[in-house]
Amino acid sequence: MHKGMVLAALCLPVHLLGNSEPGKDSSTGYQIPPGLNIVNGIHITSGLVVNEGFEVVLANCVPCHSGKLIAQNRATRDGWRNLIRWMQKTQKLWDLGDNEESILDYLAKNYAPAEGGRRAPLKDIQWYFLE
Amino acid sequence: MYPDPFRTDTRRGFIKKSALAMFGSSLGGNLLGSGLIPGKLIAAAFPGAVGDPYSIIGKNPGLSILNDRPWNVETPAHLLDDEITPADRLFIRNNGIPPREVDPSTWTLTIGGESAVAEKVFTLQELKSNFTHHTLQLTIECGGNGRSEFNPPAKGNQWTTGAVGCSQWTGVRLRDVLESAGIRDDAVYIGYYGKDRHLSGDPEKYSISRGVPMSKALEDESLIAWAMNGEDIPPMNGHPLRLVFGGWPASTSGKWLSKIVIRNKVHDGQKMGGQSYRVPCQPVTPGSEVADEDMCIIESMPVKSLITYPRTGAILQEGQPLTVRGHAWAGDLRVSAMHTSNDFGATWQPCQLDGPANRLAWQRWRAEVQFPGKGYYEIWALATDSEGVTQPMVVPGWNPKGYLNNACHRIAVKVV
């Protein structure tokens, strides 16, 4: 079922929907869900990148922990799979069935490790004049 | 009492019974808690479902929220400039769901375990009346502070530098309370249990139950505390009662404390075993898989320091001198020297270093820094402990869970 139908079924008042950027991502053909608060490709409520696989990650991961925990981590596809196995073994995560591959595709694509050395340059510096 | 923290505990059970749950069935999970429905609606349907902001009321808005379920919130270095960390600036590292309603008048602490002579139960009032009070400034730092710099990346909350603080704690000595129950000769460890629940909501599971060896438990500075900086402990920092072990991973300082067990073996509670709060017993190649039996429990934290003034990004006029200052700490040890560099570690200048307010409190340091001309500079801070060990300038030994990054703190400065 498409989530647009879910939202319609719940008869949401328009003012709850927030900003939305419905439409199609031209590079992937991914249909961006309507009715969500999305800014710069990030779903504000969950903190997750809105991209292919977003809905299934939202439905299976975010019920139990914050999307922000996903978004701040980086791992390879194998690393993410190991994490899913660990959650299944110790944290009561259910069997993801056919959704597992979609979830891994999404995580490996959007939250992959960056190449880097032993210590990265300082970043995000907000310069100010010190009196 | 304080406002309800978020409650993920009942959602799963509720959703199973909910007619609305069928909407999510085709995606294999449930949509209600997933954020597919806008946050305001979730908040209306499930108060506090998405990290209820009321539960961190009182914390400084400048803190960085790494995770809101459970709350993991760190303090930027420039907000840690106070000698005694104020309540609004002490980091939060929660593992589970904090207790929703706390009534200090009915709160009890049980002392038990196989190496206790007798099980004893104290009300909070009895703890306050029966034992001598002590007030100490104690440094507590999350074992994973600095995790964000490890590569390959380590999973978990990506702490930068702000999971540390040094507040003033008031309570009773753990030793006095343990001795009143009686400690058997075979005692080797204590373990704690708190009133926070597992994130899955399963009442049979503990979110965290760690501890320390008897040698640490019996130190003069090991406290069972009910007050921080002379007031109630903030809700997310363990109100109404917690352990405080200065210099050790803060995960040993159990919050919402309800039970302490004296063990005849290393405590085997949640997050004592496996890879949690453990590092490889021998250094390993970055990215290695390390078997559980080759991982050793972290005890005293390594020497470390922070630059708390100025905030990174300061622009100075040529010739303008810069005063820098911060704190340094060294686990169970004392900091014996402090240096800064403005040339990427090529040369180091000694700083003025104060003694600690008491053992296991951080130490204040300050220095005047000059610059040779215009340009981009970094101030690096390097502490040396009382055994002559210094902080590394690069990220120290990689470990699977990304603990113990005590690489020297750096701030950026421009001279124009």
Which range (A8-12, B23-27, B240-244, B288-292) has the least confidence?
Answer: A8-12
Kindly report, residue by residue over B369-399, the tens digit of the pLDDT.
999 999 999 999 999 999 999 999 999 999 9
Phi, psi of B368 (to 5 degrees): -100, 125
**What is the domain-level CATH number for residue B215?**
3.90.420.10
Residue B41 lies in a domain: yes
Q: Min CA distance, A26 vs chain B (Å)?
A: 22
Which of B297, B327, B347 represents a domain boundary (last residue)? B297
Query: Is residue B283 very low, low, confident or very high in pLDDT (cuts 50, 70, 90)?
Result: very high
Q: What is the token pair recorded at B27?
A: 């995606």
Q: Are residues B118 and B227 in the same domain?
A: yes
Rounded to two decimals, the pTM is 0.81
Residue B4 placed within a domain: no
Chain A CB contacts of B8 below 8 Å: 64
Average pLDDT value for chain B = 89
Please check whether residues B173 and B277 belong to one and the same domain. Answer: yes
Distance from CA of B13 to the nearest CA of A (A): 12
B318 shares its domain with B278: no
Domain boundary among B272, B297, B322: B297
Q: Report how many Cβ contacts below 8 Å link chain A to chain B.
A: 161
Q: Which of B271, B110, B262 is nearest to B191 (CA)?
A: B262
Residues B287 and B313 occupy one common structural domain: no
What are the C-alpha distances in Å from B134 to residues A101, B173, B176? 56, 7, 11
Find, among B80, B3, B27, the residue nearest to B327 by Cα. Answer: B80
- Indicate if B310 and B292 belong to the same structural domain: no
Q: Which residue type occupies A26?
A: S
Q: At what angle do helices A77-90 and A99-110 cross, to 10 degrees?
A: 130
Instruction: Among B18, B27, B318, B405, pick the best mutation site for testing chain A contact (most A Cβ within 10 A).
Output: B27
Compute chain A's Rg from CA coordinates. Answer: 18
In a domain? residue B3: no
For residue B323 the two structure tokens come to 């005063």
Domain span at B87:
9-93
Closest CA to A36 of B38, B50, B27: B38
Question: What pLDDT sits at residue B54?
Answer: 57
Q: Is residue B210 in a domain? A: yes
Residue from B36, B78, B415 whose CB has the most chain A CBs within 10 Å, to mutate: B36
Q: Which of A12, A59, A102 is nearest to B35 (CA)?
A: A59
Structural domains counted in chain B = 3
Residues B273 and B404 in one domain: no
Q: Which residue of B has its CA nearest to A43?
A: B35
B409 band by pLDDT with thresholds 50, 70 and 90: very high
**Residue B242 contacts by C-beta under 8 Å, 6 or more apart in sequence?**
B194, B224, B225, B233, B253, B254, B255, B256, B257
Among B34, B311, B320, the residue with its CB nearest the CB of A63 is B34
- Distinct helix (H) and strand (E) counts, chain B: 5, 24
Q: Are residues B24 and B165 in the same domain?
A: no
Asked if B38 lies within 8 A of A18 by C-beta distance, the reply is: yes
Q: What is the pLDDT of residues B2-15, one digit of tens each?
A: 333 333 333 333 32
Provide the pLDDT for residue A119. 84
Interchain proximity A45–B39, CB inside 8 Å: yes
Structure-block tokens of residue B157: 């909350």
Residue A54 host element (H or E): helix A54-60
Query: Looking at this protein, which amino acid is placed at residue B2?
Result: Y
Is residue B326 located within the same domain as residue B283? no
Q: B52 and B194: one domain?
A: no
CATH number assigned to the domain comprising residue B312: 2.60.40.650
A123 touches chain B (CB under 8 A): no
Pull the structure tokens for residue B15. 């959703």
Q: Which amino acid is at B260?
A: I
B359 shares a domain with B210: no
What torsion, rounded to 10 degrees, do the Cα atoms B381, B387, B392, B396 define? -140
CA-based nearest residue in chain A for residue B415: A129
Which stretches of B208-321 are assigned E, i.e. beta strand? 211-213, 223-228, 231-232, 242-244, 257-263, 278-280, 295-297, 304-309, 314-316
SS3 label, residue A114 = coil
Statement to judge: residues B120 and B269 lie in one domain: yes
Q: Are strands A128-129 and A48-49 parallel, antiparallel or unpaired?
A: unpaired
Q: Which residue of A has its CA nearest to B323?
A: A130
Helices and strands, number each (H, E), in chain A: 5, 6
Q: Where residue A113 falls among pLDDT bands split at 50, 70, 90?
A: confident
Residues of A in contact with B156 (CB under 8 A): 73
Cβ count near B405 (within 10 Å) = 26
Q: Do B153 and A56 touch (CB under 8 A)?
A: no
Is residue B334 over pLDDT 50?
Answer: yes
Which segments of B73-212 does DSSP mark as H helices, in order?
Answer: 124-130, 174-181
Instruction: Check whether residue B17 and residue B52 sit in a common domain.
Output: yes
* pLDDT single digits (tens) B99-154: 988 999 999 999 999 999 999 999 999 999 999 999 999 999 999 999 999 999 99
Q: Give pLDDT tens digits for B45-92.
A: 333 334 555 578 789 999 999 998 899 999 999 999 999 999 999 999
pLDDT of residue A27: 65
The answer to whether position B99 is within a domain reads: no
CA of A98 vs chain B CAs: smallest distance (Å): 9
Q: Is B375 left (phi over 0), alpha (psi -120 to 50) or beta?
A: left
In a domain, B2, yes or no: no
Domain boundary among B45, B66, B93: B93
Task: Tell whether B132 is covered by a domain.
Answer: yes
A56 touches chain B (CB under 8 A): yes
Q: Is residue B24 part of a domain?
A: yes
Other C-beta atoms closer than 10 Å to the C-beta of B369 total 17
List, in sequence order, every beta strand (DSSP E) within B298-350. Answer: 304-309, 314-316, 322-329, 335-341, 349-350
Instruction: Work out the percent of chain B whose per-residue pLDDT is above 90.
Output: 82
Residue B258 phi, psi (nearest 5): -125, -20
Q: State the complex-level ipTM.
A: 0.72
